[in-house]
Amino acid sequence: MNQFKVIAAAAALALSAGVHAQKAEVIHWWTSGGESAAVKELAAAYTKAGGTWVDNAVAGADNARAAINSRVAGGNPPTAAQFNTSQQYHDLINEGLLNDVDAVAAKEGWDKILPKPVIDAIKIKGHYYAVPVNIHNPTWFWYSKAALEKAGVKGEPKTIDEFFAALDKLKAAGLVPLALGGQAWQEWITFYAVLLHVGGTDTYMKFFKDHDPSVVNTPNFKKAMTTLKRLHDYVDAGSPGRNWNDATAMVITGKAGFQIMGDWAKGEFNNAKQTAGKEYGCFAGFGANAPYMVAGDVFVFPKTSDKTAIGAQQKLAAVFTAPDTQVAFNAKKGSIPIRTDVDTSKMDICSQAGVAAMKTTSRQVANPDALMPPDMVGAVTDIVSKFWNSNQSVDDASKALAGALKQK
């Protein structure tokens, strides 16, 4: 009996060690209804693969990133941490604080299946330091079909002038024309959405990629800034401080007509049991060949020499990018898969439109956070927020923006 007890104890110890080896603490900021439903798909996939998921949700992206950086600097890093598809984590790479996932990338053929804007953000100095889980376009236009019908708006706006005409009709009907959460990051999205879709791709790239101060004096840039200022007349008095998902709820309930927000908003529509093309509509820009901004979410893996922790990191990377996980997660997140070899036939019309857009490389445009260092992004965001929330003139705001670009 003692021999059997020893064997049983040894087996239990081995099992315990195996489970511990697959234990992964994952920090992320997905806390809204749609986001929570989506992250559960990642957790379920990891659990199914034999791992133990330790969820650490931190409300607010800025708060989550601060917690991650603090943990890494303090020598107590999580197994994996969420960032955007951006330059937000490049300092960690430069300081040698992240493990690469080259082995998974090579096995899955990331060089062939990922869009160039994504590769440029996650492959640094020849190594993959982040695993992408989705492709988000932050500049979608969402609308309530019931609100537009009530206001007498027929069809999706094909130009910025048609968009303003629709906003006027919504306002006349007593509805909120444009639902916006008055927070700096939402004002920032509104700014670069307008710069891209009104100012044009060339103007957008000169500002965000080239950091060319002279672009602020061009007619297209001035037109975009004038348009941004004009949009302020169509948000309601309750906008300041509003959360993005509360603004989405205004569209869901028909209290507001439009919202400019990333396709993570679709997770909220899904959570409310609404169907794209039925209760709500979407368009990625004005016209059939509008530029399609490529953003999204990635997970990075803080440096560790612990072989069991590295094994957990590699497993997470493989599970996150697996075809089944990609389809299940993105269906609830509102985004589209990072892979081109998954079945998209069951996706809604908004995701189908996104997938179609991604097949035309000339339409792909990197998001601002992937083109600008975080300090510059912060400076520009502050200027945009001041412009949005004050009577500052287009000329004065443009000069301030030019100054931010010069401070490299």
Q: Which CATH number covers residue 377?
A: 3.40.190.10
Same domain, 148 and 285: yes
pLDDT of the residue at 366: 94
**100-150 pLDDT, tens digit each:** 999 999 999 999 989 899 999 999 999 999 999 999 999 999 999 999 999
φ, ψ for residue 9 (rounded to 5)?
-65, -40
Beta carbons of 365 and 196 less than 8 angstroms apart: yes
Looking at the chain, how many residues does it have? 408
pLDDT of the residue at 9: 38
Same domain, 94 and 174: no
Distance CA 338, CA 96 (A): 26
**DSSP secondary structure of 97-162:** -EE--HHHHHHHTHHHHS-HHHHHHHEETTEE-EEE--BB-TTEEEEEHHHHHHHT--S---SHHH
- 345 secondary structure, DSSP code: T
Parent domain of 50: 2-136+295-365
Distance CA 361, CA 358 (A): 6
Same domain, 258 and 180: yes
Distance CA 201, CA 100 (A): 33
Give the count of alpha carbons within 13 A of 209, CB side only.
13
Same domain, 73 and 126: yes
Number of domains in the chain: 2
Beta strands 140-144 and 52-57 are unpaired
Distance CA 244, CA 163 (A): 21
Say which amino acid occupies 381. Answer: T
pLDDT of the residue at 344: 80
pLDDT of the residue at 2: 42
Beta strands 127-128 and 130-132 are unpaired
Taking the model in full, what pTM does it have?
0.85
Distance CA 292, CA 339 (A): 17
**DSSP secondary structure of 52-100:** EEEEEE-SSHHHHHHHHHHHHHTT---SEEEEESSSTTHHHHHTT-EE-
Which residue, among 183, 253, 194, has the nearest Cα to 397 in the 3D structure? 194
pLDDT of the residue at 408: 63
- 216 secondary structure, DSSP code: G
Crossing angle of helices 219-231/201-208, nearest 10°? 90
Residue 295 backbone class (left: φ over 0; alpha: ψ -120 to 50; beta: rest): beta
Same domain, 67 and 196: no
Same domain, 284 and 198: yes
Same domain, 127 and 156: no
pLDDT of the residue at 199: 98
Distance CA 147, CA 149 (A): 5
Beta carbons of 340 and 113 less than 8 angstroms apart: yes
Same domain, 125 and 32: yes
Sites in the chain below the pLDDT cut of 70: 1-21, 408
pLDDT of the residue at 17: 39
Count the Cβ atoms, other than its own, within 10 Å of residue 197: 25
φ, ψ for residue 281 (rounded to 5)?
-130, 170
pLDDT of the residue at 196: 98
Same domain, 318 and 216: no
pLDDT of the residue at 345: 82
Same domain, 271 and 306: no
Beta carbons of 263 and 139 less than 8 angstroms apart: no
**Two tokens at 195?**
């710069």
| Residue ranges in 178-218 assigned as alpha helix (H) | 184-194, 201-208
**243-296 pLDDT, tens digit each:** 999 999 999 999 999 999 999 898 899 889 999 999 999 999 998 899 999 999
Last residue of a domain, which of 365, 382, 398?
Answer: 365
Give the count of alpha carbons within 13 A of 142, CB side only.
35
The torsion defined by the Cα of 64, 284, 33 and 191, in degrees rounded to 10, comes to: 40
Same domain, 11 and 99: yes
Same domain, 58 and 168: no
